Amino acid sequence: IPKPTRDIIVTKPIIIGKGEHRDFEGARLIAKGLGDGSQREGQRPVLALLRGASVSNLIIGKPGADGIYCVGDNLLKNVYFEDVGEDALTIKGGPVIWDGGGARKAEDKIVQMNHKGPFIGRNLIFEDFGRAVRGNGAKKHRNTPFKIELYHVRAVNGGSLVKITSKGSRAKLDDVVTWDVRNLVSKSNGAKSDQGEVYKY
Ligand code: DGU
Ligand code: CA
Ligand code: CA
Ligand code: CA
């Protein structure tokens, strides 16, 4: 995680408007009053990206609260989470591309998919997590075909890199290396995965 260029205290969620791009130039966003970063649901996001919005070069500081929400057609470039809160990224529409960056210290999830996506992660490092990418396991998503692609991802010390438990869900992994991650792709109920160059140590 790069050293922040400055800290920005965020007291209400920062909304990036439709089609807008914001370059945070290496700043760290620190939530205040949006949530304590525990596993308690109902916290607020630090950042919300409307359709077509993109962000680059930022760090979500501790406490991560409910992280970043994406409604679709979003690009996150060089985005880091120094200590994930309830979760880091919530996918509410697709596609979402997270290219560059990473996340650490996620008690449970890093990427929470509440929509089929696709979610495409490239050039990321995950460290200390429960599930790095999780297709929502709730009943109402029993038939949601979550679509996940991970390329050039490194992961250290976690439960599952991907967990998909609904019919039609697919995960494609290529150029992935994990160290001390229990499962690469945990799947059930007909979810499937395809793997290229993937190494698990
Ligand atoms: O079983 O609890 O979607 O944080 C489903 C999960 C899910 C929550 C929520 C969230 O509903 O994690 O976005
Ligand atoms: Ca949650
Ligand atoms: Ca944490
Ligand atoms: Ca959440």
pLDDT at 172: 98
Cβ 9 under 6 angstroms from ligand 1? no
> What is the Å distance from ligand 1's center to 41 Cα?
8
Cβ 138 under 6 angstroms from ligand 1? yes
Ligand nearest to the CA of 103: 3
Going by C-beta distance under 8 Å and a sequence separation of 6 or more, which residues neighbour residue 81? 59, 60, 64, 67, 88, 101, 102, 103, 104, 106, 110
Contact 36, 13 (CB under 8 A): no
pLDDT at 174: 98
Amino acid present at 187: K
Going by C-beta distance under 8 Å and a sequence separation of 6 or more, which residues neighbour residue 152? 122, 123, 124, 174, 175, 176
CB atoms within 10 A of CB 121: 28
The token duo for 143 is 């038939």
This model of the complex carries an ipTM of 0.94
> What is the Å distance from ligand 4's center to 101 Cα?
20
Considering the segment(s) 7-200 as one domain, its CATH architecture is 3 Solenoid (2.160)
Q: Which regions in the chain score pLDDT beneath 70?
A: none
Cβ 137 under 6 angstroms from ligand 1? yes
pLDDT at 107: 98
pLDDT at 133: 99
The residue count for the chain: 201
pLDDT at 201: 98
pLDDT at 62: 98
